[in-house]
Structure 1
Amino acid sequence: MKSNSVRNTDKEEMSPREKEIAVIFRKVEKKYWGKKSNHLKIYLVDDLIIIRSCGNLSPAEEEFAKTEEGRILLKQLKIKEMNGIKNVLKFMLENKLNTQVLSLTIDTNPELNETIIISRLKEQLK
């Protein structure tokens, strides 16, 4: 498989594919989480899409994340929330990109105020 170059969408112009993925993710953020993240980076590597979303905690959640117990509870809550919308995000990606999403992994780190989504596709995006 030919390797795509890794692109940081905060520092470079987004490709058309990266823009499509960003639009999909922003729609999901707004509709299901009620707010958009401050920074969104998209990396396309071979058959992988890596989405890094930073700044998606509310001010109250940021305060709660200052303690270890708060971070643990927030992580559990955010993972449950995200797993609830995993199928929606998968469906939207498949429809827009015209390829099957084989896996979708979501993790969050309240201490860094970021969420990472890794999606493995059936084929490399063109």
Structure 2
Amino acid sequence: MSTVFSPSVGDELPRLVIEAVDAEKMKTMAALLGDSNPIHWDVDTVRELGMGDQPVNQGPNNLGYVMNMLGEWAGGAERIQKIRVRFLDNVFAGDRLEAGGAVTAIGDDGTVECDVWLARDDTHPVLAGTATLSLA
């Protein structure tokens, strides 16, 4: 027996929680992206820049958390048609994050519009935007 997935405007999306951002994964991602910015692995550089004492997570990782949340809710990341976000603040190693959102519109063509966000420590927004998904 299958369950019919029928979102409504105002529905909150199930949150995705990242208990602690992993500094080692930042190093791996920097290598994969060819990102030579030392703020992603060199704590001394982060300190010299006055940014604290933890490496800074890459923006694509932060966006990925939101996309994972959307994909889990919608039944697969391939349902994401468009996503637009603004990066509002840095994410650091060890930060606890939550990705979430809410349905804002439903189209006759099976598309769903959502506001999306990523927050640190339950309250501090680090990313916000919109996404369009196809549920048809």
TM-score normalised by length of structure 1: 0.32
Q: Larger strand proportion, structure 1 or 2? A: 2
| Rg larger in structure | 2
